[in-house]
Chains A and B, each alone.
Chain A
Amino acid sequence: MSRATALPLTRRLVAVRVIVVLTAVLGLNYIVWRWLFSVHWSVWWIAVPLVIAETYSLIDSLLFGLTMWRLRERGEPPPAPEGLTVDVFITTYNEPIELVMDTARAAKAIRYPHRTWILDDGNRPAMHEAAEAEGIGVITRSADWVGMPRHAKAGNLNNALLATDGEFLLILDADQVPVPEILDRTLGYFTDERMGLVQTPQYFVNVPESDPLGSQAPLFYGPIQQGKDGWNAAFFCGSNAIIRREALMQLGLARYAHDVELGVVKALRTARTVLQEARESLEPGQERIAEALDAIDHDVKRARRELARGVALFDVTYRFQRRIDSVHRELVEADLTAVAADLAIIAELEALAEDPVDTLADISSAALDRLAHRQWSPLGAVDAVRALVEAVDVGRAGEAQPIMPLATISVTEDMATCMRMHGLGWRSAYHDEVLAHGLAPEDLETMLTQRLRWAQGTVQVLFRENPLTQRGLSITQRLMYFATMWSYLSGFAALVYLAAPITYLSIGVQPVQAYSVDFFARLVPFLIVNQLLFLVVANGRPTWRGQQYSLALFPTWIKSFTSAFGNVFLGRDLDFAVTPKTKREPTGPRWDRVRPQLIAMGLLALALVIGVVRIAVGQAPLFGASFNMLWVLFDLLIFSVILRAARYRGFEPEPPPARPPAHLAAPAPTHRGAP
């Protein structure tokens, strides 16, 4: 846990800190008053959700303030030392060959000495030919991966790591075209020998000024990353990042040690249950088998004792397997094959070891339980125990490579990998200079798929490796990771922020005791300083589009939580889809993909009309109704982006094609294209 270094107190930083303190004080003042004095308990069904949603937003705002507290502008990078070895990885699966080759040519032209590799997970002959023709290497999965879980991009990178030997890796998505200086501008940070990762912005060239799909993320690739950087928690974002191989390999080994240990402990526990049940099902005349089962049970107990005593795990499993093998052999030799193992059962065990979803450390307890309680024939039980322990043995039988440096617990491998790296004490840096030019989705549907994937990946990490409980991270590093995860909960808050004014205007239900002077005197100052914080932090970068999408994509954020929950805890499929990089055929607006938003807008508009009528007939108080109508109008303004996005027909470049500015200038979500 490294102490964060001292930051120069610039005027901007002083201003930010003053406003952060003000936001916190005013926000807490408001929310405490809300909970204690202004909840309209008699309509709890809307009043309580509202005050919870408001509390959620305040915590979001406090976490944002904490992030900004140490906003770190690194400025000019240190010069790149000579003589480092670098591999440039371009990851691709199904992107068009020409698109990949554009990136590959640019990568080859990077000035600092390096080797360029295309990591073609599609294993396409045409890709191979095109690359070879220009002297660019292609890496495809080794034979070890046949029949093994592939782990998407993380697997692709893990495979390439073993096929190369550069000290540093530059990772590029297939559509991120690097500038020649990218390594010269970033390698200097690695003179700090604990520096594990340098992330640079993702900037998209096929996005118009108005950015209807909210593709650019100038607030995230800017103040937010700089703030996280101040706490030594700059995130790895999957592309446009340089990583120290040693840091990756070390975390691969640490994970391996951890997973193997956890897996063996679990397997031994299950083994005992299998044995006990097999023992109970024995019939008279099977004493020989009973003896064998007892012998194995004895060995299981002994193995568990040894592990508890701290005997090295590999020694324990080695001895254990030797013992089981000999018991097994004795049984077979004694011609007890009459009670032959159920082959289907063994097949199931092997499938368990190869379960593509789980790493061996988290073979689900449910799967193990199922296994433990099925009807075993005695010899089947012996086989089962053997297969179980093999499954989680040193070799990680169910994985292509024992060492998986890039985390495979999430569909977005970057965040989990980075968090583990920080947990091992490595540092990261965010270098705020556009050094690669990428392509963003150009239609609503693709954009929605991509946002869902990012959100799901983040939530998976939250559920599998909650940053608040990870060892090795400082408290603020934990909070920096948690802040991003927290922001994706905004989907649930959005539901409440829609429902509250609609119910007030249409049926007169008031969740707050009174829309009174007291209420506004507390709320308005908070809202003002909160916006002021955004303004100062953004420093000219547009933030409106990001604010819109953090609410307007509420169905996506909600789905990310429900699907990731189903995936992590119930073993369901995530419906994972690779983000298409090609332009889709124009088919007309996909209104069906934004139906919840359209319904919300319809209800908002309807509430507005009813509100006007109720004021006119004297049924609603003017003050409260006007406030709620303003609220509705604000919601409508937020949601209007959806109409624009659905009608967006793709990017038409305007002549002349301007080079993008070094610093991003386009609207953005607060956290990497999400809320």
Chain B
Amino acid sequence: MIEIDVTTDSQGIGVVVPKGRLTMVSAPQVRSTLEQLVDAGTARIVVDLAETTFLDSSGLGALISALKTARKAGGDLRIARPTEAVLTVLRLTNLDKVLRPRDTVEGAFYV
């Protein structure tokens, strides 16, 4: 299983840090963590991918599902600090054209 850090900053923005491999095995866990966060009232979320060593299409799919949930609740989900491996997955599926990774966690909702 994957370790997921969840914090909320002073602006009420949730910061989620999946540590390790975000794959078909850990995707359901990540998805439900994110959904619980939205249900609890934090609809603006940054997923910090700096410590995500590997991401597969199922993992990315979980992020997209959570994005849908966040937007339904009037918020949004942003991804930040992807590693090269993660960027590759984004490019393979052309998702880089729709989901722009942010350089920093702090600025994710301001740039």
Contact = CB atoms under 8 A, between A and B. Distances in A.
Interface range for A: 20 to 34
Contacts of A260: 98
Interface in A241-265: 245-246, 249-250, 252-254, 256-258, 260-261
Given A246-B56, A253-B57, A312 B64 contact: no
Contacts of A177: none
Interface of A: 162, 165-167, 245-246, 249-250, 252-254, 256-258, 260-261, 310, 312-315, 318, 393-396, 401-403, 424
Contacts of B58: 165, 245-246, 249
Given A246-B57, A394-B71, A395-B72, A165 B25 contact: yes
A398 to B, nearest CB: 12
A212 B3 CA distance: 60
Contacts of A166: 24
Contacts of B94: 254, 257-258
A368 B103 CA distance: 38
B95 interface: yes
Contacts of B57: 246, 249-250, 252-253
Nearest to A165: B24
Which among A246, A254, A395 has the highest number of chain B CB atoms within 10 Å?
A: A395
A395 B96 CA distance: 17
Interface in B41-76: 56-58, 60-61, 64-65, 67-68, 71-72, 76
A395 B76 contact: no
A249 B24 contact: yes
Contact of A257 (B25, B28, B67, B93): B93
Given A257-B95, A318-B71, A395-B72, 4 more contacts: A246-B56, A256-B95, A312-B97, A312-B99
Contacts of B64: 253, 256, 394, 402-403
Nearest to B31: A162
Contacts of B28: 162, 165
A253 B25 CA distance: 17
Q: Which of A252, A312, A314 has the most CB of B within 10 A?
A: A314
Given A250-B92, A253-B57, A312 B100 contact: yes
A252 B98 contact: no
Chain A interface main SS type? helix
Contacts of B65: 162, 401-403
Contacts of B67: 314, 394-395, 402
B99 to A, nearest CB: 5
A315 B78 CA distance: 9
Q: Tell which of B25, B60, B93 has the most Cβ of chain A within 10 Å.
A: B93
A315 B100 contact: yes
Nearest to A167: B24
Given A246-B58, A395-B72, A312 B24 contact: no
Among A257, A313, A318, the one with the most B-chain Cβ atoms within 10 Å of its Cβ is A257
B37 interface: no
Given A167-B24, A403-B61, A249 B95 contact: no
Given A314-B99, A318-B76, A395 B25 contact: no
A312 B68 contact: no
A424 B92 CA distance: 8
Contacts of A249: 24, 56-58, 60-61
Given A394-B71, A401-B65, A313 B98 contact: yes
B15 interface: no
B17 interface: no
Contact of A395 (B61, B71, B93, B99): B71
